[in-house]
Every structure is written in C-alpha cells, then in structure tokens.
Chains A and B, each alone.
Chain A
Amino acid sequence: MSDGVAPIVPGTAAPVTVPARMPTDWQTASRQTRIRRRYAAEARFRLMGLFAVVMSAGFLAILLFTMISNGIGGFAQTRIALPIDFPRAGLTLDQARLKGPGADLALAGAGLPEATQAAAIVAYGPDGDKLLSDGAWLRVRDQVKANPALLRGRATLWVPAADTIDIAAKHDGAPADEAIVAKLKAMGALSTGFNAFFLTASDSTDPTMAGIWGALKGSIFTMVVTLLIAFPVGVLSALYLEEYATRNRFTDLIEVSINNLAAVPSIIFGLLGLAVFLNTFHLPRSAALVGGLTLALMTMPVIVIASRNAIKAVPPSIRDAALGVGASPIQVVFHHVLPLALPGILTGTIIGMARALGETAPLLMIGMRAFISAPPDRLSDPATVLPVQIFLWSDQVNRGFVEKTSAAIIVLLVFLLAMNGVAIYLRNKFETRW
C-alpha cells in the first residue's frame, strides 16, 4: 500500500491521486437494511406464487368436485324388478330367428314391447307401465337374446325405471313418485346399478335411454381428421418457414396472417367451413369429416406458431455440426432439428387439439347440432360431438338430462385427460431418447 502514497517533497505541488477504494463494508446499517429488504422481497414473491398456485388448484378442485358429484348419478341407473310370464305373454315368435342378425327385428315384431308393458301392469297395477322407462323392453330383449331359455317360463328381469322414478330414487322427485319409490324399495323391487348403457348408446329423447357413445365416437372421428390434417400441414409449414424460406415481404405477410389466424374467433371458422366445405365442395352436412376439416383450419395456426418457436429454440450450433459433416438440409431437419423440436411441437399440438375438442360454435355452423340417435360408422355419416351433445342436453327441459349433462362433461374431461396423457407420454419418450 505504501507504494501508492506519493512522497511529500516541500516546494512541489502534491500530485493528484485517485484515492484507493476500500473493500465494501457489508456490515453498515444501510447495507444490512438492503439485505433485509431483499429477503423480504423474495419471501413476498414466493408467497404470491404459492397463493396463485393454491388458488388455481382450488378452482380446479371445485370444478372437478362439482362435476363429479353432479355427474356421477348419470352413470348410475335405477332398475325395477319386472316379473314376466313369457309363455302367457302371447309372443308370436319363431325360435329359430333368435340367433343371428334378425333377432332384434323378430323380437320387436313378436310383441315384446306390449308384453313388457302388460307385465308391468300385472305386477304394479294399472299405472305400472308408467314406472318403466320407454326403452325397458329393449333390456328385456337383450336378456332374452342372451338366454332364450327364459322364454319357456316365468322370470324376474331387472329393467330401467322411468326417469321420474329415477330422479325420485336418486334425489328428491315429486311427492307421488317419492311414495312409489318408498313402496318399491319396501318390496325389494328397486335397485341401482352401473349404467353401462350410457357409454354404449346414443342420443335419445328419453333420458333413461340416452347415451354418450354416439357423441364420443363423433368426437374421436372429428379429432382424428383434425389431427391428420392440422399436424402434418402445421409442422411442415413451420419447418418451411423456419428452415427454407428466405425472409422477404411475402414470408413476413404469411407470418402475420398465421399469427392473426390463431386469434380469429372460432365461430368465424365455422362460417368458413360452411362456405367452403358445404356450399362449395358439397361435402355432407353434420359429418365428422367436415367438422374435422373445420377444426383443422382452427388448430393449424396454433401448431404452426408452437412449432416455429420450438424449431427456433434448437441451437444453431447443432445445425452447424450436422452441416459440417456433410448433412443435407433435409437430413439436418429430420435427423436433428425435428427430434429436438418435437417436445415443443407436441405441446403446441396438444393445446390446439384440446381447444378443438372443446369447441362448439364452429360445429353448430356446419350442422353438427342435429338430433342423431345412432353412432356414426363412417366419416361422412351425420354425427355430433361431446361439447355439442352437452350443449344440446343442457338445453333440455326434462330433469333427467341434468345429470346426463354433467356425466357427459365427465366423459369429455376423461377424453381430454387421455389425449393429454398420450401427448405427455410421447413427449417424454422423445425427450429421453438420448
């Protein structure tokens, strides 16, 4: 330190010296306050973050709780024991036709619906037939088909109750229905079971007969079409724009258009689908094919944007490395860029697909709101999708549809979770490949 101090010689001006800086003293009061403030700021920030997480988790929990408590009843079915004396029921039936594809028709023509009603009247009095669901005879039919030996004698079969009885048994219904339920319960003629029919049937005007399968199948068809169109087209556009296109006015214009397209309200895509696919190309109305195409238009910009960001995030040094050993541009893309970008691309795809899965408005525009009581077999068959089905049921005045609506929402959520699960699985698979 002494070297730095200039010697003082009398008669000469002291040279200007820059005072040497002392090491920072961290113990002074003002520094200590700063440190305390920093800790306080960090603690505040952590608390705020925690609060945000707890709040969103809370909302999610409330949503799931209300959905499940409302909807779980939709998966349960109240059944009534129905004794039927088949030999006396006056069925005109050719036993040989009970096997094979003609069986349903044969049983319907043989007077099974009437026989079922008559049995209810015998068992439960003049209004007995009102206790049963309109489709009760269908369950009788299924059981007879499964076991034709029933036709030779008396049997007690469990058949679905009418929706008024169903509601009275599960919640609180009209006082008259409550009394009937109490009486049936006392007789041991009432039971509750899992409504497998809800998962295998399609829409119906009778809530006890309505099922979600038609809408679920429609949703699956629609999503498949959307994915098959939006994913390859979206990823290829993103690759082209990022890896090949030179930057000029034209590509800037395309970029702006795509970004804007992602922000267009979904109903506009419905109008577009109506104008292009139905009016110009004359594709069938209400079909999963058209729904999928329309939703693909909506999903594609989301996939393009997510893919471009994922591709941009691949470090340029990886491209250099591949080009440096003589990889062609296509090899660079498919061997290096795409695998590294895939997790991000899949994340974007799942966000786009999830949005498409929950979309109602554009599908209403192309006629997917029709009452459709049979699941679609082909992409061009009239179909509906889960959110539209939920929308239609929520509009019904019949109280039996209230819990069907919630049950359908549960099915939609499960579908969504399954889709997310597949995407997360794929993402992890590609992330851990090296």
Chain B
Amino acid sequence: MNASKISARNVNVFYGQKQAISDVSLDFDSDVVTALIGPSGCGKSTFLRTLNRMNDTIANARVEGRIALDGEDIYAAEMDVVQLRARVGMVFQKPNPFPKSIFENVAYGPRIHGLASGSAQLADIVERSLKRAGLWDEVKDRLSDSGTALSGGQQQRLCIARAIAVDPEVILMDEPCSALDPIATARIEELIHELKGRYAIVIVTHNMQQAARVSQRTAFFHLGSLVEYGTTSDIFTNPRQERTKDYITGRYG
C-alpha cells in the first residue's frame, strides 16, 4: 500500500449538512493515469479537490478520513498546504488564467517557488511548459499579451502549462478538455501520455473514449460513492456492476 503516491481511505466530504462524498477509498500510483467518471453532480470534482486540499477554501466544506501523499497525512496539522499544492498541481474545470500576460501566467509558479535562477532559465521553463501544453506555436509571438484574451481552449492549455511549470508530482485535471476542439484535445491526451511515466495523473472526464484512451485505471462514482474501481479495460469491457455498465453504455448520465 505504501507504494501508492496518494492513498485515500474512508473519505467523507460534507458541504454543511449535505454529504457529497461517502466512504471513498482509492489509491493513485506514480506512473498511472486514473480516470474518474460518473454522472454530473456525483462528486468527482469534490473528491479531486480533497487531494490537494483545495476544499479548505470553501467555508462550509468538511473532510473526514485519511489521505496520504507518500505515506504522509496531508490533513495533518504539520502539513504545509502551500508546499502540498506545489507538489499536487491542479487544472480546473473552468479555465482560470490570471489577468496577466501569457508569460507571467506560466512564470508565476516557478517564480514564487524560486525554481529558476535567472530570467533566461525562467524563459526556458515557460517555453518548455507551453510546448508541452501544445500552446507554444500559437502564442510564441505574443507572450506579453493578456492570458484572458486567448480563446477558451487556449486558456485551458495555458492553465495546463501553468500547472506543469512547477513540475508537480501529481497532476489533478478536472475535465481539462471540455472546452477544447478535437485537435487540442488530442494534444492534451498526448501530453498526458508523455507525462505518465513521471507523474501520478488523475483526470475527471465525461468523455468515455477519452477515459479509455488515456487512463490505465478507472473509478466510477455515483451519488457520492465509489461504485467500481479497476483497470480501464476491465471497467469498459467487463464491468461488474450494473450501474457502471449502464453509465458507460450511455443508458444514463
């Protein structure tokens, strides 16, 4: 069990009185892409946000259970949340670039963590991150333009570049491709393939083909509970639960 990068045990999440996640236990390994699927409102984003404690920012959210990163409880009092979020990066469901230049958007993380020793190295990190996010060719001539002036799909790739610029160990992606065209989606999927070897990647998606293409493990959520978890090929070809089968064959969702 200790081999897992992140292990979640008996996690419950409440928004005030309302329980959004009940008793979920899941492991995420370092060289594996895990897809979280399930109908809208089933708690995928909520669960994802527990993994880097982004739920802390929601005043009435409460998390129970144990979530460990490399065996260390991330909800322990001595956990440094800032460092945790640098190690567990996140791409949000809605693109949220800073209202700053494209360059500044990507350079922000490395700058606040002092990852670059000099502006040349910083520019290098920015270029590399934008290339990996498949955005470089579109923006290389206008790095000083505002990030918010990009199209929705370009903004999402900018956010991905921003997340990978700090070289996290885990990347949480909440429907990163929902605003992208098929070409940009294919680039992101390529990126996920490329990153797979080094990072633990957790991706929420409503696109079954995408889940099948990019992930090795799939977890199916329904009404706040984990219904089924297994290798992606098992879930898609041979689901054990009726609900899973209904969902992936499109009978509801």
Contacts and interface: CB of A to CB of B under 8 A. Distances in A.
Interface of A: 246-247, 315-328, 331, 335-336, 340, 434
Contacts, number: 69
Contacts of B98: 318, 321-322, 336
Nearest to A433: B100
Nearest to A316: B57
A320 B59 CA distance: 14
Interface residues of B, number: 32
A419 B84 CA distance: 46
B54 A325 contact: no
Interface SS, A side? helix
A316 B99 CA distance: 13
Contacts of A315: 96
Given A326-B113, A326-B166, A434-B146, A321 B85 contact: no
Contact of B82 (A316, A317, A327, A340): A327
Contacts of B90: 324
A326 B59 contact: no
B57 A321 contact: no
B99 A434 contact: yes
B112 A323 contact: no
Interface in B87-123: 87, 89-90, 92, 94, 96-101, 104, 108-109, 112-113
24 contacts: A246-B59, A316-B57, A317-B92, A317-B94, A318-B96, A321-B92, A321-B96, A321-B159, A321-B162, A322-B108, A323-B57, A324-B54, A324-B89, A324-B90, A325-B108, A325-B109, A326-B84, A326-B109, A327-B112, A328-B112, A331-B112, A335-B108, A336-B98, A434-B100
A324 B57 contact: no
Contacts of B146: 434
B100 A325 contact: no
Interface string B132-175: 00000000000000101000000000010011011000000000
B163 A320 contact: no
A320 B57 contact: yes
A322 B162 CA distance: 10
Given A247-B59, A317-B92, A319-B57, A324 B52 contact: yes
B226 interface: no
Nearest to B104: A434
Nearest to B85: A326
B96 A320 contact: yes
A317 B148 CA distance: 13
**Nearest 4 pairs between A and B by C-beta?**
A326-B86, A325-B109, A317-B96, A324-B90
Nearest to B109: A325
Contacts of A340: 99
B83 interface: yes
Contacts of A336: 98
B112 A326 contact: yes
